[in-house]
Copies of this chain bind each other. A is one copy, B any other.
């Protein structure tokens, strides 16, 4: 496997993809979805080898479950591709037009990014998802999935490539790295000559490794130390319901609530009710001194607790004197993902929305809504926690760039 060749092939494919019409792209995606379902048997067989090897290696049952493919999961993969067809194609959109005093006409047009690299864990469904989103936006994609899923990823990729080839679209529009060594992954992260952006999807550790090693521009995704602030002027019943939902509706996701901030004036009344409500869901509460004065059974919270994305049945709590202190606490410990205020005080809501520096800032709703489908963007490639290029749920537009078309009749600069 030669990464230089893979990179060059991806660039060549991207030069063809950027010219395809929306109709051509959608037709190819539908064909890919159909081909995946038609190839269920061979995909499940390749996957069974991955699953057997992972089990033998002692991979945890939860991870083996994420790795496993079944006829039903392949149908749902195909359904995901079909949903991407339904989304509007941002490529070709005229973003601005401008005729300069010297007669130059400048048109800003949305174009594909070119070549997108995705680094992810052993989840074969990401292979199809990421391909569909990149292809719909006219990008070639190079996929580097976890080694435990290699046979599955290659089998999926072969089906996609064969389908594209049949339609006279470059098969290298999608490529899976066959060498899943760390050395090759690092080389991949430095393939700046061919790769326009690298999107890591997975654990905080994986994302950190990419950030540390990449010279290709990276979009940081994923980590969510999300906060809910219960203001003095909060409807307690609403706060309980939002916190319960944001903490427990799904534990292992980046938009789950990990930390609670409570105004001192409501803490004594509210925290005992919260403790009762969350004890039914087996959530452990870890609080500062004042939280523990309200609920004696709480574990003490450390500095580290406030900085931790638990992805588990644990919630850290801090009592503050003011909205300003709440905002300062959140801006210090959060990961700029999603944070919420529960209040019926419009001024406080306004201040919170303005001053909390997160991709999504909420008033009176669960942080669990930070999601491409919930935001109305459709399938997403990830949730950006950086401010460059894209922030929050990344729909198709996040997979595009633009260029300026400058049309003249002989203008020169004086």
A residues in contact (CB < 8 Å) with B = 15, 18-19, 98, 100, 104, 106, 111, 113-114, 192, 196-197, 211-212, 215, 217-219, 235, 238, 241-242, 244-246, 249, 331, 349, 353-355, 357-366, 368-370, 374-376, 386-389, 391-392, 401-413
Partner of A363 from B100, B242, B363, B407 at Cβ < 8 Å? B407
Determine whether the beta carbon of A217 is less than 8 Å from that of B218: yes
* Contact residue among B365, B402, B405, B413 (Cβ-Cβ distance under 8 Å from A406): B365
Listed from nearest, the 6 A-B pairs whose CB atoms lie closest are A365-B408, A245-B412, A387-B401, A368-B413, A389-B389, A365-B411
Question: Within the complex, which residue of B242, B357, B363, B411 is in contact with A114, where a contact is CB–CB below 8 Å?
Answer: B357
Among B218, B369, B410, which residue has its beta carbon within 8 angstroms of that of A242? Answer: B410
Inter-subunit contact B374/A241 (CB<8 Å): no
Residue contact B15 to A355, C-beta cutoff 8 Å: yes
One complex includes copies of this chain to the number of 2
Contacts of A354 in B (CB 8 A): 18-19
- Taking a contact as CB atoms under 8 Å apart, the answer to whether B357 and A404 are in contact is no
> CB distance A369 to B406 under 8 Å?
yes
Nearest CB of B to A339, in Å: 10
Does B413 lie within 8 Å of A366, measured CB to CB? yes
Complex contacts, A363 vs chain B, CB 8 Å:
405-408
Looking at the complex, which one of B353, B366, B370 makes contact with A412 (CB distance below 8 Å)?
Answer: B366
B113 touches A387 (CB 8 A): yes
A217 — which chain B residues lie within 8 A by C-beta?
217-218, 386, 388-389
Are B408's CB and A331's CB within 8 A? Answer: no
- Bound CA span A389–B398, Å: 9
Q: Is the CB of B409 within 8 A of A374?
A: no
In the bound complex, CA of A374 to CA of B102 (Å): 9
Determine whether the beta carbon of B405 is less than 8 Å from that of A361: yes
Whether B391 pairs with A403 at a CB distance below 8 angstroms is: yes
CB of A92, distance to nearest CB on chain B (Å): 10
Q: Decide: A357 near B387, CB < 8 A? Known: A98-B376, A241-B412, A406-B363.
A: no
What would 28 A/B residue contacts be, using CB atoms closer than 8 Å? A19-B354, A98-B375, A100-B375, A106-B375, A106-B376, A113-B387, A114-B387, A192-B211, A197-B387, A217-B218, A217-B386, A242-B410, A245-B412, A246-B412, A249-B413, A349-B407, A357-B403, A358-B403, A359-B403, A362-B406, A363-B406, A363-B408, A364-B408, A365-B411, A368-B413, A369-B406, A389-B389, A391-B401
Q: How many whole Å from A400's CB to the nearest CB in chain B?
A: 9
State A372–B280 Cα separation when bound (angstroms).
Answer: 60
Contacts beyond the supplied A349-B407, A364-B411: 5 A-B pairs with Cβ under 8 Å: A359-B403, A361-B403, A362-B407, A363-B408, A392-B404
Shortest CB–CB separation between residue A278 and chain B, in angstroms?
A: 14
With both beta carbons as reference points, the residue of chain B lying nearest to A365 in the complex is identified as: B408
Distance to closest chain B CB from A319 (angstroms): 22
Give the distance in Å from the alpha carbon of A353 to the alpha carbon of B404 in the complex. Answer: 9
Task: Considering the complex, give the chain B residue whose CB is closest to the CB of A211.
Answer: B215
**Are B215 and A215 within 8 A (Cβ)?**
no
A132 to chain B: closest CB distance in Å?
21
With A388-B217, A403-B359, A406-B365 as known contacts, state yes or no: A15 contacts B374, CB within 8 Å.
no
A362: chain B residues at CB < 8 Å are 406-408
> How far, in whole Å, are A211 and B213 apart by their CA atoms in the complex?
11
Residues of B near A100 (CB, < 8 A) are: 374-376
Q: Are B212 and A212 in contact (CB under 8 A)?
A: no
Contacts of A387 in B (CB 8 A): 113-114, 196-197, 401
- Decide: B388 and A401 in contact? CB cutoff 8 A: yes
Assembly CA distance A363 to B386 (angstroms): 36
Residues on the B chain within 8 Å of A349, using CB: 407
Which of chain B's residues have a CB closer than 8 A to the CB of A409?
238, 364-365
- How far apart are the CA atoms of A114 and B357 in the complex, in Å? 9
